[in-house]
A and B are shown apart, each in its own frame.
Chain A
Amino acid sequence: MLYREAGQFKATYAEDMAIFPIRQDRIALAVLLGIAFIGVPLLATFRIWPFGTDYLLWAILLPFLILALAAIGTNILVGYCGQISLGSGAFMAIGAYSAYKLATGVHIPLAWLGFAIAIPPLPVLASILLGGFMAAGAGILFGIPSLRIKGLYLAVATLAAQFFFDWAFLRLPWFTNYAPSGSVNAPELDFFGMVVRSPVERYLLCLAVVTVMAVLAKNLVRGNLGRQWMAIRDMDIAAELIGIRPLYAKLTAFAVSSFIIGVAGALWAFVYLGSWEPLAFSIDRSLELLFMVIIGGLGSIMGSFIGAAFILIVPIMLNVIPTKLGLPLSTQTITHLQFIIFGSLICYLLIKEPHGFARLISIGKEKLRLWPFPY
């Protein structure tokens, strides 16, 4: 009975166009943000359950936030614009390594021209954002084939990006500042004199970035550009005939998507991993992001969060529940089970509900509105 919109009249188009037009949803969101921004840091600071150890922050919330951000980026390309990508991992890597190079100083000796390009080390925030822009540039470059080829063919083009950059960051020592092991360390996370060190600080940093970028992404997808993307996705020929330029629509989708994924990659490297190898951004990561988007909901910002949470929680549950039941599973079995669960869930959702969990939730809300009389 609590979930009713009767009596909530919208007098202006602005009100009708709000992200959450129903008051109860807005209240729920406010509570959620309150918990995320104030509740969690307080509990973690005073080490109150369930934040007695840093486990929840480090192993769940931090990766959840960053991967959700990367999933938003993937969703813009795959879910909104309908351009398949198996190369999200590579764009995370481009964000991460670009940010790393910029934060440690870039030096490109151009001996045959008689001079060198030298950029002094940039502040961390600038490096991360520029990392995003570098990824956006690469995204545009690898998006160009999408103007001539579609769907499945594009999948191979993005695979080319994935494997080429995997190789480049592994084999070209310039990217890793000639580190002998190939693994690199993030610079100190100094934001205008404030140094982010503890898990809570890292969490708050990611939360802030993710919140801002999620809102901006939501603005884009519900505005004209978002409609252009979806038009291209649903019927590109008709889209052209109402004046949408495929070139502009597709390349903006690639750019925006890669920018978000690039920033997520930089955060993943700098804030979560601290030190990393190219393996952190392999094709497995790309597929994982694609799964988050399909499971959470193609074409839904909220779905990206749900998908990320689901993909992270399943392996933990597979570990925890059988152990509680006295039947602990081996790590290998857990991995295999996880493969089977994700795989079958993907197939099931594609058949039954292509818009994923996000759609299931909104169906649930429709039912709740009418509850207890379903008519």
Chain B
Amino acid sequence: MIALGQFLEVLIGGLMSGVLYSLVALGFVLIFKASGVFNYAQGAMVLLAGLALVRALDLLVANGLPLWVAVILAIGFAAVIMAATAWLIERFVIGPLVNQDGLTLFMSTIGVTFVIEGAAEMIFGSDVYPLRLFPTDAWFLFEGLFPGGILVNKLDVWGALIAGVLVAGLAVFFQRTKTGRALRAVADDHLAAHSIGIPISWIWFVVWLVAGLVALVAATVWGTKLGVQFSITFLALKALPVLIIGGLTSIPGAIVGGLIVGAGEKLAEVYLGPSIGGGIEYWFAYVLALAVLLLRPQGLFGERIIERV
């Protein structure tokens, strides 16, 4: 029973941290679907959103505002920052690069990453800033079944809830709103969409804004877990293999991919790690993605890409 209890604990912990990867991966999928851009900067956007949020919050609380007012204002401030970032990116990078090949766009987002990281740290500082928006203590489940119970972090549960709400919200946005429909049209064929009068630059701004807000949501959860700090960008990079596994164009794929990576790397670390030196988490997601690429390049949920001449 101890073995099973431990397995469940690792599995649940892994699934929960997988939700965090999914949160970042969602932002990637949104942008990729709408503009074909493989956005390396999503991790940097999480960092920027987190820094803006935590610094504004600290400042407001220090000036004597009640916590709940400060939280609302700080989230509003961070959202404005993300909107400004989205506008700048659309205006100065993605807009001028329209019709370029995917590789050029990808490399330009690496450039964007560096600008965001440099600017965010220059403006908001480059230390580790603790963020306390959600409870971080633990629950012990099934104490009757397993000795000591199964440890589940409350923050992880919050993260899962938020991810669920976010996905539902995005689904409604895509399926039910006019902007959402226009967005899907642009994703299919931006020239055709343009010719029927859909304002492309506006749509792209909206996409980057939504991705920025998703980054903000991810930042609240991640920031609470790890503190807002630079290394968040590296964790966010794991959203790339998550996407490969799930399929680049699929929102459910981003979620499932995140869960697979989260659970897989934790289980591998606990059960395989000790025999080969530990630290498997560092590369597990990438090597798993590599295997998926070789066996099923379009990912678990992706659409098969057909090429024509």
Interface residues of A (CB under 8 A from B): 82, 84, 144-145, 148-149, 151-153, 155-157, 159-160, 162-164, 166-167, 170-173, 237, 287, 290, 294, 332-333, 335-340, 342-347, 350-351, 354
Query: Is residue B306 contacting chain A, with contact meaning CB distance below 8 A?
Result: no
Contact A148 B293 (CB under 8 A): yes
Chain A residues with CB under 8 A of B21: none
Contact B282 A153 (CB under 8 A): no
Query: Is residue B287 contacting chain A, with contact meaning CB distance below 8 A?
Result: yes
Contact B237 A159 (CB under 8 A): yes
B93-109 CB mask vs A (1 if < 8 Å, else 0) is 10011001111101110
List of 4 A-B pairs having minimum Cβ-Cβ separation, nearest first = A339-B118, A343-B114, A346-B111, A343-B115
Known: A160-B283, A340-B118. 5 other contacts (CB 8 A): A170-B279, A336-B126, A343-B112, A344-B115, A354-B104
A-B contact pairs, 14 of them (CB 8 A): A82-B103, A145-B293, A151-B103, A152-B38, A159-B240, A160-B289, A167-B280, A171-B277, A171-B279, A173-B277, A237-B307, A237-B309, A343-B111, A351-B93
B70-112 CB mask vs A (1 if < 8 Å, else 0) is 0000000000000000000000110011001111101110111
If the complex has contacts A156-B286, A340-B115, A343-B115, are A350 and B107 also in contact, measured as CB distance less than 8 A? yes
Q: Quick one: closest A residue to B287, CB to CB?
A: A160
Cβ 8 A contact of A167, one of B112, B282, B290: B282
Contact B286 A160 (CB under 8 A): yes
Whole-angstrom distance between the Cβ of B125 and the nearest chain A Cβ: 9
Query: Is residue B117 contacting chain A, with contact meaning CB distance below 8 A?
Result: yes
Query: Is residue B58 contacting chain A, with contact meaning CB distance below 8 A?
Result: no
Contact B283 A343 (CB under 8 A): no
Contact B103 A148 (CB under 8 A): no
List residues 15-59 of chain B with CB under 8 A from any CB of chain A.
38
Query: Is residue B220 contacting chain A, with contact meaning CB distance below 8 A?
Result: no
Q: How far is the CA of A333 from the CA of B118 in the complex (A)?
A: 9
Contact B115 A347 (CB under 8 A): yes
Contact A155 B293 (CB under 8 A): no
Chain A residues with CB under 8 A of B93: 347, 351
Cβ 8 A contact of A163, one of B103, B107, B117, B282: B282
Chain A residues with CB under 8 A of B114: 339-340, 342-343, 346
Whole-angstrom distance between the Cβ of A234 and the nearest chain B Cβ: 10
Whole-angstrom distance between the Cβ of A351 and the nearest chain B Cβ: 5
Chain A residues with CB under 8 A of B3: none
Chain A residues with CB under 8 A of B121: 332, 336, 339
Number of interface residues of B (CB under 8 A): 47
Chain A residues with CB under 8 A of B106: 84, 151-152, 155
Q: How far is the CA of A278 from the CA of B289 in the complex (A)?
A: 23
If the complex has contacts A148-B293, A333-B122, are A163 and B111 also in contact, measured as CB distance less than 8 A? no
- Interface hub of B93, B122, B290, B307 (most chain A Cβ within 10 A): B290
If the complex has contacts A156-B244, A346-B111, are A148 and B286 also in contact, measured as CB distance less than 8 A? no
Q: Quick one: closest A residue to B101, CB to CB?
A: A151
Whole-angstrom distance between the Cβ of B298 and the nearest chain A Cβ: 9
Chain B residues with CB under 8 A of A167: 279-280, 282-283
Query: Is residue B297 contacting chain A, with contact meaning CB distance below 8 A?
Result: yes
Q: How far is the CA of A340 from the CA of B244 in the complex (A)?
A: 29
Contact A153 B115 (CB under 8 A): no
Query: Is residue B294 contacting chain A, with contact meaning CB distance below 8 A?
Result: yes
Chain B residues with CB under 8 A of A160: 241, 283, 286-287, 289-290
Contact A145 B126 (CB under 8 A): no
Whole-angstrom distance between the Cβ of B61 and the nearest chain A Cβ: 25
A-B contact count (CB 8 A): 135
Contact B115 A156 (CB under 8 A): no
Contact A344 B111 (CB under 8 A): yes
Q: How far is the CA of A354 from the CA of B122 in the complex (A)?
A: 28
Q: Quick one: closest A residue to B291, CB to CB?
A: A160
Contact A336 B122 (CB under 8 A): yes
Whole-angstrom distance between the Cβ of A176 and the nearest chain B Cβ: 12
Q: How far is the CA of A172 from the CA of B309 in the complex (A)?
A: 48
B256-297 CB mask vs A (1 if < 8 Å, else 0) is 000000000000000000001111101100110110011001
Q: How far is the CA of A331 from the CA of B244 in the complex (A)?
A: 37
Whole-angstrom distance between the Cβ of B182 and the nearest chain A Cβ: 25
Q: How far is the CA of A346 from the CA of B96 in the complex (A)?
A: 13
Q: How far is the CA of A152 from the CA of B249 in the complex (A)?
A: 13
Chain B residues with CB under 8 A of A84: 103, 106-107
Query: Is residue B224 contacting chain A, with contact meaning CB distance below 8 A?
Result: no
Whole-angstrom distance between the Cβ of B140 and the nearest chain A Cβ: 33
Chain A residues with CB under 8 A of B126: 332, 336
Contact A347 B112 (CB under 8 A): yes
Chain B residues with CB under 8 A of A350: 97, 100, 104, 107-108, 111
Contact A347 B92 (CB under 8 A): yes
Chain B residues with CB under 8 A of A159: 237, 240-241, 286
Chain A residues with CB under 8 A of B277: 171-173
Q: Quick one: closest A residue to B40, CB to CB?
A: A155
Q: How far is the CA of A362 from the CA of B297 in the complex (A)?
A: 40
Whole-angstrom distance between the Cβ of A144 and the nearest chain B Cβ: 8
Chain B residues with CB under 8 A of A171: 276-279
Contact A337 B290 (CB under 8 A): no
Contact A351 B96 (CB under 8 A): yes
Query: Is residue B113 contacting chain A, with contact meaning CB distance below 8 A?
Result: yes
If the complex has contacts A346-B114, A350-B107, are A340 and B286 also in contact, measured as CB distance less than 8 A? no
Q: How far is the CA of A171 from the CA of B279 in the complex (A)?
A: 8
List residues 195-242 of chain B with CB under 8 A from any CB of chain A.
237, 240-241
Query: Is residue B119 contacting chain A, with contact meaning CB distance below 8 A?
Result: yes
- Interface hub of A157, A164, A335, A339 (most chain B Cβ within 10 A): A339
If the complex has contacts A156-B241, A157-B293, A160-B287, are A340 and B122 also in contact, measured as CB distance less than 8 A? yes
Contact B118 A164 (CB under 8 A): no
Contact B293 A156 (CB under 8 A): yes
Chain B residues with CB under 8 A of A345: 111
Chain B residues with CB under 8 A of A333: 122
